[in-house]
Amino acid sequence: MELLPRLSSRDSALWVKRDDQTSLRYGGNKVRKLERLLSEAKRRGVARIVTIGAVGSHHVLATGVYARPLGIEVEAVLVPQPRTPHVVMNLRADLAQGVKVLPATSFAHAGVRVASRLGRDAYFIPVGGSNRLGALGYVDAARELAAQVRAGQMPEPDLVVVTLGSGGTAAGLAAGLLEEMQTVVLGVTVSDPAWVVEHMGRSLAHACLKHATHREGRAAKVEPRLEWDRRYLGRGYGQATPEGERAMAVAAESGLTLDPTYTAKTFAAALDRVAAGKHKTILYWHTLSSAPFEPLLIDAPEEAAIGPELAKLFR
Ligand SMILES: *Cc1c(COP(=O)(O)O)cnc(C)c1O
């Protein structure tokens, strides 16, 4: 964690959890989920992973980066999203990692394509790596934070601000922190329909909690410790907002690089909470990889060479 002194106020200190540094090859939040998910795929001895995402998915790219060295092929069913240079780069990097891309026109169509690829030799990972096992990677992260707080590396946060994309990250954090501290987790909704992802977040948090408290046999209540804010979504998933763009500029001055789809909207919410001054210690959880991208583009096709079928994935 790091304190951001220039962005803190007298009433609220703003800290950042640097999950952009979870790995030197490719960091961000997907690494913690894949730690659990890929161990399971390995334990099952599968030859393939079948997964799904939008064309710029960090989850698909991270799966490509980390599954290949384990000798597991990755097949990704991808759906369209608005075209940005970052999204184009992610698809090129997917192809460079040897990810087999199966284009779909919508998430409904994607379901059909996924179903046609499942089989005994395949392990299915849902959108964003957000099933219970993936979210448990963020229960691990919550315990790590609690240990760091106990070690005196930062005060106990009153509020953790984190992106709510497919829900696994916020869910695992809320479930994990419930046992350890008084912290409230605020999920900033960046995908739509908002009520669907918020529902996913809540049910994943319940699933994590049930798993974590299984042996004690008691059911703690996660609701008061997991909140949403959908006011930063703008026109929808992958659509930049003015608040997000302002937050990106502010973060850059403190040495943090944000992306318009996830972290810019979330950081905008964190800055507003600091301005409101109701929480003494606010922790912004930074989920975007900051590892150098060029190595992931070695062997990547140029954009002009990706073909008309895949080019349709850019809206
Ligand atoms: C996937 C992703 C998220 C969202 O995490 P979920 O667990 O899907 O809610 C946030 N930030 C970045 C940079 C991501 O790639």
For a mutational test of ligand 1's pocket, the pick from 19, 22, 163, 285, i.e. the residue with the most ligand atoms closer than 8 A to its C-beta, is 163
Question: Which residue's C-alpha comes closest to atom 2 of ligand 1?
Answer: 165
81 and 103 in a common domain = yes
| Percent of the chain whose predicted confidence (pLDDT) is above 90 | 95
110 and 56 in a common domain = yes
- Residue 99 scores a pLDDT above 70: yes
105 and 182 in a common domain = no
pLDDT tens-place string over residues 13-55: 999 999 999 999 999 999 999 999 999 999 999 999 999 999 9
CA-CA distances (angstroms) from residue 177 to 156, 265, 286? Answer: 11, 23, 17
Look at residue 212 in the predicted model and tell me its pLDDT: 74
What is residue 232's DSSP assignment?
T
Please indicate, yes or no, if residue 307 is contained in any of the structural domains.
no
For a mutational test of ligand 1's pocket, the pick from 16, 160, 166, i.e. the residue with the most ligand atoms closer than 8 A to its C-beta, is 166
Closest atom of ligand 1 relative to the 165 alpha carbon = 9
Domain end: 77, 98, 129, which one? Answer: 129
> Cα separation of 90 and 81, whole Å?
12
Question: Which residue's C-alpha comes closest to atom 4 of ligand 1?
Answer: 165
80 and 17 in a common domain = no
Look at residue 74 in the predicted model and tell me its pLDDT: 98
The one-letter amino acid at 264? A
Domain end: 101, 129, 157, which one? Answer: 129
257 and 169 in a common domain = yes
280 and 189 in a common domain = yes
> Cα separation of 109 and 236, whole Å?
20
Please indicate, yes or no, if residue 162 is contained in any of the structural domains.
yes
Closest atom of ligand 1 relative to the 187 alpha carbon = 9
Look at residue 251 in the predicted model and tell me its pLDDT: 98
Instruction: Yes or no: say if 88 and 63 are a contact pair by the CB < 8 Å rule.
Output: no
Name the residue with tokens 């220039």. Answer: 6
For the chain, what is the domain count? Answer: 2
Name the residue with tokens 């994943």. Answer: 204
Look at residue 235 in the predicted model and tell me its pLDDT: 97
Please indicate, yes or no, if residue 312 is contained in any of the structural domains.
no
Look at residue 221 in the predicted model and tell me its pLDDT: 87
42 and 15 in a common domain = no
> Which range marks the domain in which residue 160 is found?
2-28+131-286
17 and 149 in a common domain = yes
CATH number at residue 62: 3.40.50.1100
Please indicate, yes or no, if residue 205 is contained in any of the structural domains.
yes
Instruction: Yes or no: say if 19 and 285 are a contact pair by the CB < 8 Å rule.
Output: yes
267 alpha carbon – ligand 1 mean position (Å) = 13
User: Concatenated DSSP letters for 120-179?
Assistant: TTEEEE-GGG-SHHHHHHHHHHHHHHHHHHHTTSSPPPSEEEEEESSSHHHHHHHHHHHH
- Residue 267 scores a pLDDT above 90: yes
Look at residue 263 in the predicted model and tell me its pLDDT: 98
Average pLDDT of 152-166? 98
SS3 call for 85: helix
Cα 11 versus chain centre, distance? 29
Cα 305 versus chain centre, distance? 29
Residues 6+ apart with CB under 8 A from 104: 77, 78, 79, 110, 112, 113
Look at residue 179 in the predicted model and tell me its pLDDT: 85
Please indicate, yes or no, if residue 97 is contained in any of the structural domains.
yes
Please indicate, yes or no, if residue 273 is contained in any of the structural domains.
yes
Average pLDDT of 140-157? 98
- Residue 73 scores a pLDDT above 60: yes
Listing from the earlier edge strand, what are the strands of the sheet with 100-103? 100-103, 73-79, 48-54, 122-125
119 and 73 in a common domain = yes
Please indicate, yes or no, if residue 309 is contained in any of the structural domains.
no
Question: Which residue's C-alpha comes closest to atom 15 of ligand 1?
Answer: 58
> Cα separation of 226 and 171, whole Å?
8
Ligand 1 contact via 22 beta carbon (within 6 Å): no
187 and 67 in a common domain = no
Confidence of residue 219 (pLDDT cuts 50, 70, 90): low
155 and 11 in a common domain = yes
Please indicate, yes or no, if residue 226 is contained in any of the structural domains.
yes
Name the residue with tokens 């979330």. Answer: 266
Mean per-residue pLDDT over the chain, rounded? 96
SS3 call for 227: strand
Look at residue 261 in the predicted model and tell me its pLDDT: 95
174 and 89 in a common domain = no
Name the residue with tokens 């190595």. Answer: 295
Residues 6+ apart with CB under 8 A from 120: none
- Which tokens go with 47? 């030859």
pTM, entire model: 0.97
Domain end: 129, 159, 192, which one? Answer: 129
